[in-house]
Chains A and B, each alone.
Chain A
Amino acid sequence: MSAIEFGQIGVIAGKEFRDRLRNRWVLAVAAVFTVFALVIAYFGAAQQGAVGWRSIDVTIASLVSLVIYLVPLIALILGYDAIVAERERGSLDLLLSMPITRFEVLLGKFTGLAGALGVATVAGFGLAGLLLFYQLGSAALFHYGGFVLSAFLLSLCFLSLAVMVSVLAEDRMRASGIAIALWFFYVLVYDLLLLGLLVISEGKLNLNFFPVLLMLNPADIFRILNIFGFEDVQRLYGLATVFPETLANPWLLGSAMVFWIIAPLGVAAWRFK
């Protein structure tokens, strides 16, 4: 085929991004993130009988639990119909009759939606971050920045999966079903399965490959990325303690997330012929 034209990717990405700004999707998601972050930061310890600002470590740990549920769901909902909706409506033929390759259409869709997610994540958590900065000081901001960045990476992993679904699914109904199933699997079921495996094996299992199994779920990578380094947080989590310190290098974990962004997109590009 011919060389990639980034201008064409930009045209598609620009349209997707503007569509999400215009229908107030970006605003709504940013508002949800801000409100949740502030509520968790202030009321997170209410169960222990106290309200008020806590340490940044504990605040982030609480936010991580929220983000693990919310962000994959939002990303999957955003991207599951990227291609299949155009195919079903019939607008894909006209789009593909333009001087553009399928790969450029796919990458443009992904980039535009990723931009919408990025702006919503940074604006939503950023606004909350500014308020936290006043309460907790600038040292907290560094950790918080890392958390926001990893939340964005997490959203891209699931957006990539969603775009793959949008290519593979025959129609929108099926695509939405698969997207919800993916959310259930990675967010709710996967860790339970791993725990079950541990219990059934009664400790006879070689624990060395456990970290690899955790790496197979982007939500777990996100969790590990955010709780390692926080001594007082580590003990809150059972699973993460089986994770060896040597593998807990943020660059390694970050690369694993990047793999999770590229791989589903690669499958999508391969199947979108």
Chain B
Amino acid sequence: MIQRKLTLVMENKPGALARVVGLFHQRGYNIDSLHVDPIEDFEPFRFIEDELGIKFQVGEVSRLTIQTTVGDKLMRQILRQINKLIEVIAVSDDENTYLKGILRNENLL
């Protein structure tokens, strides 16, 4: 078990954060730390805009970083469960990224 970091890009909508936090409790995972803020500098996320053919507006999306202490298999499961949340646009751990539901074997965030 090691501490790992997850990064999410998600729609900044009411209740969206509660879905992520609720998922951790519901599935029996633990959150060591959590940080969330609206994305203001879109430069590192241009590839998402290109991929989806959209343009983010200020205030529309948030970045979450979550630290959690788990083993490999559980980490993969957490990533996949978070990816299922409808408002999550992209989620990464150290090795993988789900971008709008599609798996990429690298950390893009």
Is chain B a partner of chain A in the same complex? no
A residues lining the B interface (CB < 8 Å): none
